[in-house]
Copies of this chain bind each other. A is one copy, B any other.
Amino acid sequence: MALNIKPLSDRVVIEPAAAETKTASGIYIPETAKEKPQKGTVVAVGKGNKDHDMTVKVGDEVLYGKYAGTELKLEGKDYLIMREDDILAIV
Q: How far is the CA of A52 from the CA of B8 in the complex (A)?
A: 12
Chain B: which residue is nearest A26 at the CB level? B75
Q: How far is the CA of A67 from the CA of B29 in the complex (A)?
A: 20
A89–B11 CB distance below 8 A? yes
B75–A25 CB distance below 8 A? yes
Q: How far is the CA of A91 from the CA of B5 in the complex (A)?
A: 4
B91–A26 CB distance below 8 A? no
Q: Contact residues of A with B, CB < 8 Å?
A: 4-9, 11, 13, 25-30, 44, 46-47, 49-53, 55-56, 62-63, 65, 70-76, 81, 84-85, 87-91
Q: A4-B25, A26-B76 are in contact. List 5 more A-B contacts (CB 8 A).
A: A6-B90, A25-B75, A26-B74, A28-B76, A50-B53
